[in-house]
Amino acid sequence: MSTARAAWAVYRKEIVDALRDRRTLMVVLFSSVLMGPLLLVALSALLASFEASAEGRVVYVDGADNAPGLINFLQRQTRIVKAPPPDYEAQLRARRWSDPVLVVPKDFDSAVQRGEAPAIEVVSDSGNAQSQAGAARVQRLLAAYAQERTTLTLALRGVATELLEPFEVQERDLASARTRAAQITGMLPFFVIMAVLYGALNAALDTTAGERERGSLEPLLMNPAGRGALVLGKWGAVASVAVLIATLSCFSFIPAQWLLRSDTLQAMFQYGWREALAFLVLLLPFAAAMSALLMAIAIRCKSFKEAQASSTVVLAGVSLLPLVSVFDQSGESPWHLWVPALAQSTLMARVLKGEALGATDLAVPLAVCAGLTVLGLMWVARRLNDAAVG
Amino acid sequence: MIVVDGLEKRFAPTARSLRDALTRRPAQAGIAAVKQLSFTAADSCITGLLGPNGAGKTTTLRMLAGLIAPDAGRMSVDGIDVASRPREALARMGVLSDARGLYPRLTARENIVYYGALQGLGRDHAEARADVLAEMLAFKPLLDRRTEGFSQGERMKIALARALVHDPANIVLDEPTNGLDVPATRSLRDSLRFLRTAEGGGKCVVFSTHIMQEVQRLCDQVVVVSRGRSVAAGTVDELLAQTGQRDFEEAFVQLAFPPLHELAS
């Protein structure tokens, strides 16, 4: 019988078998397809609340009567001054209160007049991230008030304001909106890469170690189909499942952006069909290579459980490799493209930043993945007989 | 017809680990699983390989199925040399091995049709064969159920049907009655007897077992295997006459476990 026909028979059977394993599929779908978008939405909600408190017009002041000058300044800045609840300290600690509180001591204004430099407190909780964000805003307001007072005092004495501010600081940010967004969307490649791996994992283990454990490998090899056909069919099925999960994962971020709560993030996060397709193109060879690699590891194992333990090394490696680009402060090096997982995450990050991908950028990871696939499959085909009788 | 001549297999010792080398543990000698095993199984005949556990029966059948390469000796199936044309030989054999795992998420029919596809049958042909075999082995009600949760006997029937899907002229079974209850054993025996007859296809049936009654009830020819060798062959009556025993168990013990001085000579 021809190799192609036998491989097709194996492929069809393995696909049916994998798709009938509903429980595993649901777990994979939930953990790798839904998790990324859910996290993105949660992150956007957090960012939205930061933005809200950063732009908040309300300043909570305890003892507003002690500083009419400051209150007047705040109101001129179009801020609304309110009194905090009496137990604000406890509420801040319990994270039920998300704004910092300005505490003005008695006779603040007169002390300022006399030049006694009285202390004014900005109360926040550094364990409470939202109150921290607001505290910076209140401090900026206080600094502006202090500057206004100084300028006025010196101007009365005839000092030019330029002497107080000998130079002006202007910031110029070279990052485009997409580059800034990439800091937040940088986690996307990690999620889709893990989705590929989790998609392949179960099918790869089931068609090799699982087959051994069930005692179905030996009878399978007593058919006149060639070893190459069996391995190709199995690998094709595993890679197909991995690609299916990867596709779902890549495209799940498109509807996820509709749910983004933060306007800034929504404006910056440009992830459309083009980006999703580019992700998929980068992930196809990776899915093929990971399927072969996981099968090669699992064929040595007598049981599914043993294979799961062995494949942890691959899972850990793939989840840690992309971190190289975080730790390596020297930036992107050419060798990054030669390392599977790191290469894919680097290139996907570039897609998110809106940078173009060159032919060599695509060819190097493709060649590495193709080589890994061929080596893995040859190893599985070689081990098949020993695995059946061992 | 299956001919096995002068078969030998020695398993290599397990590879020496670094620890073995450091502790200077002597290298282990290999184990001779099969040495000088020969038999001929004719068509329209049930041949039993009878031997104690560890006699080399399973190893022999695995070599016949091309899973293990023999060190010496020749095997042929209907004149096809197993060593040089293993796939053609496998196409003429239906092998029920020691391991008979099914795919639990597939139905009995899908399990059988899958093997049909691997044997090169068309889908309709394989489906038709599944129906015929379900009729013959009496598991029609199970045919479209998933095999998860099937009993030992039910699994065995599906595994046998799977091995016979391409209607092979030669049927090789490794301890087929292992784990079967009395009714299941009897129905298997009836099926094998039917396959041997002209209307069943006049198959050449070879099966290995360590159970005396099995051999007495079923076999036209018995090959006694002991310590990797074929030590005697013939019908049950011939073996009784050869040993001068009236009880077949006694005859078997005498043939399979000869006194040590006889071995030496």
ipTM: 0.90
Lowest mean pLDDT among A177-181, B154-158, B188-192, B220-224: A177-181
Tell if the CB–CB gap between B103 and A1 is shorter than 8 Å: no
Give the pLDDT score at A51: 67
Measure in Å the smallest separation between the Cα of A224 and chain B Cα atoms. 5
Q: Distance (Å, rounded) from C-alpha B120 to C-alpha A223?
A: 10
Tell if the CB–CB gap between B97 and A16 is shorter than 8 Å: no
Cβ density class A139-152: b for 16+ within 10 Å, e for less: eebeeebeeeeeee
Give the pLDDT score at A127: 77
Per-domain boundaries in chain A? 3-46+178-389, 56-172
In this predicted model, which residue has the larger pLDDT, A20 or A184? A20
pLDDT in tens, A275-308: 889 999 999 999 999 999 999 999 999 999 999 9
Sheet with B80-81, side-by-side order of all strands: B31-41, B2-11, B72-77, B80-81
Structure tokens at B40: 């001929």
DSSP assignments along A60-95, one per residue: EEESGGG-HHHHHHHHHTTPEEEPPPTTHHHHHHTT
Q: Is the pLDDT of residue B168 over 80?
A: yes
Structure tokens at A387: 């695995």
Q: What is the residue type of A370?
A: A
Q: From the CB of residue B215, how many other CB atoms can be counted at a distance below 10 Å?
A: 24
CB A51 within 8 A of CB A44: no
CB A132 within 8 A of CB A124: yes
CB B232 within 8 A of CB B244: no
Q: What residues contact residue A254 under an 8 Å CB cut-off, 6+ apart?
A: A271, A272, A273, A276
Give, in words, the CATH class of A56-172.
alpha beta
Minimum Cα–Cα distance from A220: chain B residue: B115
Q: Is A68 exposed, middle or buried (0-12, 13-18, 19+ CB in 10 A)?
A: exposed
A225–chain B Cβ distance below 8 A for any pair = yes
Chain B residues bordering chain A (beta-carbon distance below 8 Å): 62, 65-68, 86-88, 90-91, 93, 95-106, 110, 114-115, 117-120, 159, 162-163
Measure in Å the smallest separation between the Cα of B196 and chain A Cα atoms. 22
Lowest mean pLDDT among A127-131, A165-169, A181-185, B234-238: A181-185
Give the pLDDT score at A179: 61
Give the pLDDT score at B177: 86
Give the pLDDT score at A329: 66
Domains and CATH numbers, chain B: 35-92+169-259 (3.40.50.300), 101-167 (no CATH)
Q: What residues contact residue B155 under an 8 Å CB cut-off, 6+ apart?
A: B100, B102, B147
pLDDT in tens, A365-389: 999 999 999 999 999 999 988 888 8
Q: Which of A223, A232, A300, A302 to mutate to probe the B interface, most B CBs <10 Å? A: A223
Q: Between helices A35-54 and A177-185, what is the axis angle to 10°?
A: 120
Structure tokens at A16: 């049916």
Cβ density class A207-221: b for 16+ within 10 Å, e for less: bbbbbbbbbbbbbbb
Measure in Å the smallest separation between the Cα of B96 and chain A Cα atoms. 7
DSSP B146: B
Q: Is the pLDDT of residue A203 over 60?
A: yes
Q: Which of A211, A222, A300 to mutate to probe the B interface, most B CBs <10 Å? A: A222
Measure in Å the smallest separation between the Cα of A252 and chain B Cα atoms. 29
Q: Is the pLDDT of residue A263 over 80?
A: no
Q: How many helices (H) and strands (E) does chain B have?
A: 11, 10
| B241 φ/ψ sector (left φ>0, alpha ψ -120 to 50, else beta) | alpha
Give the pLDDT score at A53: 61
- pTM > 0.95: yes or no: no
CB B180 within 8 A of CB B153: yes
A12 neighbourhood in chain B, CB within 8 Å: 117
A23–chain B Cβ distance below 8 A for any pair = no
Q: Helix H segments across chain A?
A: 3-20, 22-28, 35-54, 68-76, 88-93, 108-113, 129-156, 161-164, 177-185, 188-205, 211-214, 217-221, 227-258, 263-268, 273-298, 304-320, 324-327, 342-353, 359-389
Rounded CA Rg of chain B: 20
Please provide the distance, in angstroms rounded to a whole number, between the alpha carbons at the two ends of chain B: 34
Minimum Cα–Cα distance from A218: chain B residue: B99
Q: Is the pLDDT of residue A317 over 70?
A: yes
CB A88 within 8 A of CB A101: yes
B118 neighbourhood in chain A, CB within 8 Å: 1, 6, 9-10, 220, 223-225
In this predicted model, which residue has the larger pLDDT, A309 or A179? A309
Q: Which of B176, B171, B199 is nearest to B65 (CA)?
A: B171
Give the pLDDT score at A153: 84
Q: Which of B96, B103, B155 to mutate to probe the A interface, most A CBs <10 Å? A: B103
CB B224 within 8 A of CB B256: yes
Q: From the CB of residue B30, how many other CB atoms can be counted at a distance below 10 Å?
A: 13
A6–chain B Cβ distance below 8 A for any pair = yes
Containing B87, the helix (H) or strand (E) segment is: helix B86-91
Q: What pLDDT band is residue A109 in, cutting at 50, 70 and 90?
A: confident
DSSP-based three-state secondary structure for B6: strand
Greatest distance between any 2 Cα atoms in chain A: 104
DSSP B33: E
Q: What residues contact residue B141 under an 8 Å CB cut-off, 6+ apart?
A: none
Measure in Å the smallest separation between the Cα of A227 and chain B Cα atoms. 11
B65 neighbourhood in chain A, CB within 8 Å: 221-222
Q: Which among A216, A221, A385 has CB closest to B102?
A: A216
A209–chain B Cβ distance below 8 A for any pair = no
Q: Distance (Å, rounded) from C-alpha A206 to C-alpha A238?
A: 9
Q: From the CB of residue B124, how many other CB atoms can be counted at a distance below 10 Å?
A: 10
Give the pLDDT score at A197: 92
Give the pLDDT score at A168: 74
Q: How far is the CA of A250 from the CAs of A180, A243, B231, in angstroms?
A: 21, 10, 66
Q: Distance (Å, rounded) from C-alpha A155 to C-alpha A150?
A: 8
Q: Distance (Å, rounded) from C-alpha B181 to C-alpha B203?
A: 25
- When pLDDT is averaged across residues A243-267 and rounded to a whole number, the result is 80
Measure in Å the smallest separation between the Cα of A234 and chain B Cα atoms. 13
